[in-house]
Structure 1
């Protein structure tokens, strides 16, 4: 094993600290002398001094600490919050003077497991390396030893509000402290040295590599540079992370004069702040003024624009824009996603990606797409990684178009697997998706933009108290068909007054109705209904409630022979029936669009007829 060369590392650190010295920030006992000497350490400890300290403590120091002491007997400014590390004479056992063991175990109560008990004993068994600090413990743990004999170092400060942070060895601790020194000094105007120059060159090379598609290697380099506080490194790394689905991309506070901030970061920050995302500081804080919470960190002149973007995100009216050929592809892809064709939308974006142009020098991916209510769900983490692996930007070669052929046909059978609350779906032939609300909606056919799957299942009473309406989302359903779907079935108890909205929707064409409700309890058996209507009249249908089967009209032989629940009850699941119907009519509804996308929706007319004279009914109301 190669011995770590402490002297050049510590001399470089000391010299950089001296060159960046700020009397207001760094002054303290002996600081001026250390600046003049360009050395943050002390004299080397000889073998006798180190052996004496080991004998006093009854241990042998781990290799990296022992070799460190042989270069300098102690150290000042170990990062920003540890002002002095112990030398041989003042190394001591921590002894848990503040009863941290009791505090940790009392907080856990009877739920303390073995790992927590071991962690709680950290203070009583460890060496304390910090002699002066901002309430930071630096603990060398003799029970956490690797195969090289190195002891793990744990750092803990009560103001962090988190468990102790582990580093594999004393050497790793010092390298981490050096990175912290750089990070805290990076905002000083005069802070420039060989280390910063080398890091900035690596950041630029990583940026170019990311644009060429080598995003994984670029991310590793950028993460290292970000730990040193190098400007731009975090933003570049975060763009990779947000496309991979491991970060929100939120970046509050910068001026909208930066085009990346205005068009990419602000929409992502608003998405994270909105009810559709995770609050950038933790869990979404209902009950607070989200607009004020977000905008107050921006320059005053930018706050109206940020507030407008937040409202657009909340109302699902935000539209991501881009320049040139890629911008045209974005518009086309959005229209496809809105039609429930996410695979086609993705192919459109992927084909145009080489034509994408960065908005600024630290922009490597169109991350703002993720804030678009229609296109954000299309860019799954898997597709995000494909995007990152595609060369793009100025000089990128034109990509080969995606493989020929239509998007995979999902059919209808998947509805049986993705519908724990059942479903309702109407399919109409020969019309465009924009016509669906006109044929099925209640009232004025108001369209609600970009609804999530959760927005389109809860039925609403609407109109008369006996009515049963629901919010449905709609889109294309293969060649020549459209659909309207709601993720809430129609209970068997309501089937007595069932009135398919597809009958009215079939004027001038034909329409299919499919509903399914799982069994909730012994008195509410599973229920399945399928019917076909043409020109405003129902032609045939099948209704199954528990063990009871009812048919109307003449069901085509192709359907019955294909297994339209033949010989089985609806409790077996409607998968076979759905597959048969999809194959017979040539319909397919995108599973991805319905289950993970955002689609336009509307409130349907009632799925129940008016009760006959003397016929009772039950209903619920909004609370």
Structure 2
């Protein structure tokens, strides 16, 4: 096994520490002497001293610690909170003097699993390496040993409010502490040395690699530089992480005079802000200069209300507008193809801008930028001079049909399908008389939670709408209506005033999956304001009106099947008969425009009773 050469590593660390030494910040006991000597260590321990320590402790020390002691018998300033690490004479068993094992186990109670029990015993079985520290334990665990004989090191401080942090070996611990020293010193004026210059050069190389589409290699390089606190590295890696769907991809703070901050980072930060809490706006805006806080608050409100639109320049900006129009039509694959075809023409807003991450915050486009699509975008050469072809889109454009609704029918659904119109006409055709305003960019959950207006006897709902294939549009609600009740009125009649419309509802009453189910399925078709045919099935009984096409007759849809099987078959049959397809991705995961519909129940006649309930 090749031994680690401690001497050059420790000398470089010591020299860089001495150059950055600040008596006011680092002036604890021994700091002046270490800075003057440009050495954070001590005299080397000889073989006899190391052997004596091992006899006293009753164990053979792990290889990286033994070779370290042979270079320096202890160490000062291992990190900001560890003033001195033990040498041979200072090594002692920790012994758990504060009873931390019992504290951890008592806190877990009956939920203490094997891993927690083992972790809680770290103090009682480990060597304590921290001789002087700010309430930090550095524990060398003899029961966590790798194939090379290295013991894991655990660091813990009560003020961190987290379990001990594991380092695979003493060498890994020291390398981590060296990185931490760099990260803590990176904002000191004039902190520059061979290490920082080499890292900054690699960061610049990673930036160029990312623009070439080599994002995986770039991210590895940037992650190393982030560990050392290099200022550009975090911004660059955050952009990659944002498109990969990881939670570290939102930069907060900075001046909106920086166009990257204003147009990319602020929308991402606002999108990542928790939606609840009375101080959420203040907690975000206070991280920005006072003069910028109003603009940040406006962006936050735009994102919360679904009105934020990402903008870009040139060819890519035109593609963004086209993609958003497709996304609003519930055509996510078309939206993605428009972006993918133009991403090579994207232009950065500043020197450290490597990808259009602000897209993620766009009300309509953001939900469709999945991590898989983000990887394809990142793998595309882009920016000035990029000429490579666009990435291959994610599969062929899907034709989802309607059958997938059976898998999303726990609470039932209502869907109206209208032929020969554009999605923008849905509010006019289905909207309530006093509530035809479009509600922009609703998620499925937001539409579900919306409180429709109207009279107590009415059954209005908020539907989201979009394109349903060639020549059709849909209006969908994830809440069903019992179409077997006497006052049910299919909105297809109203919607079909100058065309043809179809209504499908499913109300999952009773248990799903057997022939005793009392669930209600309804299909009706109308043309030019007149009903043409209808099918209503409740449990095992059904009724029909008008000349029902053979392909859609109850005998073809439900006989011999469970309700769930029949529902899937019926939906597939409807999609095939009318040539309809509705994007599952758009309905389940996207943001679509919505509108409150007219009532799906007629007004009670004189002397006719009715009942209603409210959701809390």
TM-score, length basis structure 1 = 0.95
Corresponding residue of 1:356? 346
- Cα deviations across residues 368-394 of structure 1 (Å, max 9, x unaligned)? 101011000110111011111111111
Quote the residue 1:576 is aligned against: 569
Assess if the C-alpha contact under 8 Å between 2:550 and 2:556 holds in 1. Answer: no
Q: Deviations over 1:101-155 (max 9, x none)?
A: 1110110112212211111111111000011111110000011111111000000
Secondary structure of the structure 2 residue equivalent to 1:513: strand
- 1:158-557 to structure 2, matched below 5 A, reads 158-247=158-247, 249-275=249-275, 286-400=276-390, 407-442=397-432, 443-458=434-449, 460=451, 462-491=453-482, 495-520=485-510, 525-557=518-550
The structure-2 alpha-carbon separation of the partners of 1:370 and 1:404, relative to structure 1 and needing over 3 Å to count, comes to: closer
Cα deviation digits, residues 199-228 of structure 1 (max 9, x gap): 011111111111111111111111010000
| Residue matched to 1:611 | 604
Inter-partner Cα distance in structure 1 for 2:348 and 2:452: 49
Q: Give me the whole-angstrom Cα distance separating, in 1, the residues matched to 2:25 and 2:302.
A: 44
1:4 aligned counterpart, secondary structure:
coil
Give 1:249 shift.
2.8
* Distance in 1, Cα, partners of 2:214 & 2:555: 50
Gaps of 5+ in 1: 276-285
Determine the structure 2 residue equivalent to 1:129.
129
Distance 2:394 2:186 in 1: 51
Tell me how far apart the structure 1 counterparts of residues 279 and 58 of structure 2 sit (CA, whole Å): 59
Following superposition, the deviation at residue 363 of structure 1 comes to 1.0
Is the 8 Å Cα contact of residues 325 and 356 (structure 1) preserved in structure 2?
yes
Q: Tell me, what secondary structure is at the counterpart of 1:538?
A: strand
Q: Which runs of 5+ in 2 are unaligned?
A: none
Q: Deviations over 1:290-326 (max 9, x none)?
A: 2212111211100111011011111111110111110
Shift of residue 252, structure 1, vs aligned partner: 1.9
**Matched-pair contact (CA < 8 Å) for 1:318–1:373:** yes
Q: Is the 8 A contact 1:467 1:606 kept in 2?
A: yes
- Picking from 587, 592, 595, the partner of 1:599 is 592
Q: Partners of 1:22 and 1:562 in 2: how far apart?
A: 86
8 Å Cα contact 2:53/2:89 also seen in 1: yes
Counterparts of 1:556 and 1:116 in 2: how far apart (Å)? 65
Cα RMSD over matched residues?
Answer: 1.8
What is the deviation of 1:496?
Answer: 2.6
- Secondary structure in 2 matching 1:302: helix
Are the counterparts in 2 of residues 273 and 294 from structure 1 also a CA contact under 8 Å?
yes
Give the secondary structure class of the aligned counterpart of 1:89.
helix
Query: Residue 564 in 1 paired to residue 557 in 2?
Result: yes
Aligned positions of 1:3-18 closer than 5 A: 3-18=3-18
What CA distance in whole angstroms lies between the structure 1 residues aligned with 2:458 and 2:200? Answer: 66
Is contact 1:196-1:230 (8 Å) kept?
yes
Q: Please, which moves more after superposition, 243-252 or 114-123?
A: 243-252
Residues 148-177 of structure 1: CA deviation (Å, up to 9, x unaligned): 110000000111110000011000000000
Equivalent residues of 1:139, 1:153 under 8 A apart: yes
Q: Secondary structure at the match of 2:525?
A: strand
- Runs of 4+ aligned structure 1 residues displaced above 6 Å come to 403-406
Separation (CA, whole Å) in 1 of partners of 2:576 and 2:63: 71
Please list the CA deviations of residues 176-195 of structure 1 after superposition, one character each: whole Å capped at 9, or x if unmatched: 00000000000011111111
Any idea what SS the aligned residue of 1:14 has?
Answer: helix
2:98 is aligned to 98
Describe the shift of the 1:401–1:172 C-alpha distance in structure 2 as closer, same or farther (beyond 3 A): closer
CA distance in 2, matches of 1:316, 1:248: 23
